[in-house]
Structure 1
Amino acid sequence: MALNIKNPRVQELARRAAEATGRTQVSVMEEALERFLAGATQVRTTDANDRARTLIAQLQAEFGPEDLAGAHADLADLYDSDGLPR
Structure 2
Amino acid sequence: MAFTVKSERVQQLAREAARVTGKSQVGAIEEALERLLREYGADPQAARTASTIAAVRRLVEAYGADAGDPDREIRAVDDLYDEQGLPR
TM superposition score category, shorter chain reference: 0.3 to 0.5
TM-score w.r.t. the length of structure 1 is 0.46
Structure with the greater alpha carbon radius of gyration: 1
| Structure with higher helix content | 1
